[in-house]
Amino acid sequence: MQRRKFLSGAASAVVAGALPAAGLASGRADMTPGEGETAVGGQTSDVKHPRAITMWEFSWIERRWPGAGFEDWDRALDELCERGYNAVRIDPFPHLLAADPHKTWTLLPEWSVQDWGSPGVNRIVLAPALFEFLGKCKARGVMAGLSTWYRKDDSDTRMKITGPDVMAANWIRTLELIEQAGFLASILYTDLCNEWPGDDWAPFVKPHLTYGQWDNPVSLAWMQKAIALVRARYPEMPLFFSVATGNMAAFGEHDLSYFDLLDPHIWMAQTRDGEFYQLTGYNYEHFDEKGYTNLSLKAAEVYRARPEYWQAGLVQAIEAFAGVSRQIGMPLITTECWGVVDYKDWPLLEWDWVKELCVLGAQTATASGRWLAAASSNFCEPQFVGMWRDKLWHQQMTAAIKAAEIATDLRKGRMYARL
């Protein structure tokens, strides 16, 4: 969930071309989940295809009260598999797990208006919960991508991360505990920090940095050292930091060879310098409903007045990242996407136009051959009922994602090996 950083106008101009039809990837759109796949892992025996991944972030353990969506992990995972997904992105809370896996941690809300995680104070115990959840994933052939939002607890434990060595030590301990529980082979990758160095998720960085400043010298040195330390202990694990977009040219100007992949979070709403949210009056409010009031009254109308315009912005953003991938020879995944950043089941908020953009985004990305995993949206969770209940839509989306071809030059490396 990225805040207030947009693809620059220069990025939008990187690629020009015809707008693809807003349909599913050609040729295999009617493939049912499981067709042409092995029983475990969702991949054919001779050719690897992208994973259909969805972001379950910290909701997997925070949203366990009645009706919250994750009170029954078996049901949630069965429904995930029915919809054709074979990977999830979750937060193992490395800073808390490494400090004390058995402690009851009191978490403070990041927001009250969003339906990711908890809208109020909550408590979690990570062990053995994490390993129970990973075991249920493994039993279903679902791989877990690890990331972290460095959630704030009542003691603000995340502020003890005073440098990359501390961050790396927390992740090494997390991976050691997962390995001891027997689930390391089920981990698809490890993202050392979500949308680094956004100050919502990495407030411990000194000097202060925020979204889009991943190419600051302090940030570059931090990322390289942290990855090197974790890689020394786990040399086969795909490692990276997911970053907010910032300066697109910087991806070609800096040596990111220590990354195994990039995870660009791409939304129509953040293209064209955030014009869509400016027109709808949405400002990423955390504890004020006025943003959703504005979305309810304006979002569908603004989109439907110029759908081709907004679709073209999304396509240009995706193609810009495909160009980055070709330039630096690095594979991509996208776990947060493709229409609007923030949304939920709410009066006057319709899902049809959001899903239309999601189809276009997933189709455009996977058709490029540069994506090793792709999501259908960042609302693919049980608590987003309007999105989750359309099982056929998800099946068509995931079938198309998993049928896509991966470019020949990307059929190597740590991430490809784990598909």
Q: How much of the chain, in percent, has pLDDT values that exceed 90? A: 87
Which DSSP state fits 256? -
- Indicate if the pLDDT at residue 26 is higher than 80: no
pLDDT of residue 16: 31
Taking 50 as the threshold, does the pLDDT of residue 38 lie above it? no
Strand locations in 103-238 (E): 104-107, 122-125, 143-146, 187-191
Q: What is the pLDDT of residues 386-404, one digit of tens each?
A: 999 999 999 999 999 999 9
Structure tokens at 292: 């959703």
Tokens of 26: 């050609």
Rounded average pLDDT over 114-134? 98
d(CA 46, CA 339): 34
Q: Which pLDDT band, with edges at 50, 70 and 90, does 1 fall under?
A: low
pLDDT digits (tens, 9 = 90+) for 99-113: 999 999 999 999 999
Check whether 232 has a pLDDT greater than 50: yes
Does the pLDDT value for residue 204 go beyond 90? Answer: yes
Average pLDDT of the chain, as a whole number: 91
For range 133-150, the mean pLDDT = 98
Instruction: Provide the β-strand partners of residue 104.
Output: 125
Q: Is the pTM above the cut of 0.85?
A: yes
pLDDT digits (tens, 9 = 90+) for 304-331: 999 999 999 999 999 999 999 999 999 9
412 exposed, middle or buried (CB, 10 Å; 0-12, 13-18, 19+)?
exposed
- Mean per-residue pLDDT for 80-84? 98
What confidence tier does 33 reach under pLDDT thresholds 50, 70, 90?
Answer: very low
338-374 pLDDT per residue, tens: 999 999 999 999 999 999 999 999 999 999 999 999 9
pLDDT at 285 over 50: yes
pLDDT exceeds cutoff 70 at 43? no
Please state, in angstroms and rounded to a whole number, the distance separating the CA atoms of residues 388 and 407. Answer: 31
Flag the least confident range among 39-53, 157-171, 201-215: 39-53
Q: Taking residues 151-172, report their average pLDDT.
A: 98
Task: Judge whether residue 124 has pLDDT over 50.
Answer: yes
Confidence band of 21 (pLDDT split at 50, 70, 90):
very low
Residue with tokens 């997933």: 362
Burial of 16 (0-12, 13-18, 19+ CB in 10 A): exposed
The whole-number pLDDT of residue 249 equals 86
What are the structural domains of the chain? Answer: 9-418 (3.20.20.80)
Name residue 338's beta-bridge partners.
267
pLDDT of 59 strictly over 90: yes
CA 410 to chain CA centroid, Å, is 20
pLDDT cut 70: percent of the chain above it: 89
Other C-beta atoms closer than 10 Å to the C-beta of 323 total 18
The per-residue pLDDT for 247 is 79
